[in-house]
Amino acid sequence: MGDLDGVWAVERVSGALPPLHGCVKRIHGARGTTEFPRLPGMPFEVRGLELHYPLGILVDRLEPRNGSYLGRATLLGRELGQFTLRRLDAMGQLKEQLIKHIDEAHAMEQNVLRMLDGMIATTDDPEILDALEHHKLQTQGHADRMAQRLEAHDATPSTVKQIGGLIGALAKMPLDIVRGEKAGRNARDGYATEHMEIASYELLRRIAEKTGDEETARAAREIIEEERAMALVIDQNWDKFAELSLREEGVTV
């Protein structure tokens, strides 16, 4: 095991480096990755106290500092900025994972808000419209709570634009509703979204509990109940959604 083996929190010190919120470096032997929330890891090769990224254009040069390291990020040998590396123990790694999941929940809610705007714009049924508008208010509250939990951990919502997986799927959903069968597609997408949100908050709740963050765990539990209630509203109206969907296509039964 090398001196650099482990998981390190990265914090910006100076220079042209971007904010490094949630950034970690994972090192094992001669290999490692630099990771940001919701982005694939950037691999590097460990050569002594230097971290060489592919093509050798980017190199991080490290200097020991009281059990941690001062890093100098260089581009073609020219220093871009400085950062620190702080080794994360087991609890530190748990906290990093907690922040990552809170950040992803916040991003998820932002995408759900955009999806709800699209649904509201294409919904004519007064009862369904009322339910969607009410849930939009709840969703804004969910996003605000996740932002507050990030702030409690001295973190801020990620500004990373690249999204994938669940969040990417949610971002694409509003594109479907410009086509026909708006009521049916709204119901389908909304029902799937509610259950994906429930699953995300179930994971967040358990990670928060393991980290000892009862406030985040309580927020996740309360949000789950509101998501389940919205899913139930959809579940109880499938006949109406089917009839509306057929009517939109000019089909009478």
The proportion of the chain whose per-residue pLDDT surpasses 90, expressed as a percent, equals: 59
Tell me the C-alpha distance between 24 and 32, whole Å: 10
CA–CA separation, 245 vs 253, rounded Å?
Answer: 12
Model confidence pLDDT, tens digit, residues 132-169:
999 999 999 999 999 999 999 888 887 543 344 444 44
Contacts of 39 by beta carbon, 8 Å cutoff, 6+ apart: 160, 162
The mean-pLDDT minimum among 23-27, 181-185, 204-208 falls in: 181-185
Highest mean pLDDT, choosing among 122-131, 186-195, 215-224: 215-224
Say whether 149 sits in a helix, a strand or coil. Answer: helix
Q: For 90-102, what is the mean pLDDT? A: 86
Question: What does the pLDDT average to over 88-93?
Answer: 81
Beta strands in the chain (DSSP E): 6-15, 24-28, 31-35, 42-47, 50-52, 58-65, 68-75, 78-87
Q: Which pLDDT does position 171 carry in this prediction?
A: 45
Say which residue the tokens 């982005």 belong to: 39
Is 61 strand, coil or helix?
A: strand
Largest interatomic CA distance in the chain = 77
Q: Stretch 109-130: mean pLDDT, rounded?
A: 88
Give the pLDDT score at 206.
Answer: 96
- Dihedrals phi, psi of 140, to nearest 5 degrees: -60, -40
Tokens of residue 167, six digits: 């969040």
pLDDT tens for 19-70 read 888 899 999 999 999 998 777 889 999 999 999 999 989 999 999 988 899 9
Contact predicate 54/45, CB 8 Å: no
Which residues pair with residue 52 across a beta bridge?
A: 45, 59
pTM of the model: 0.68
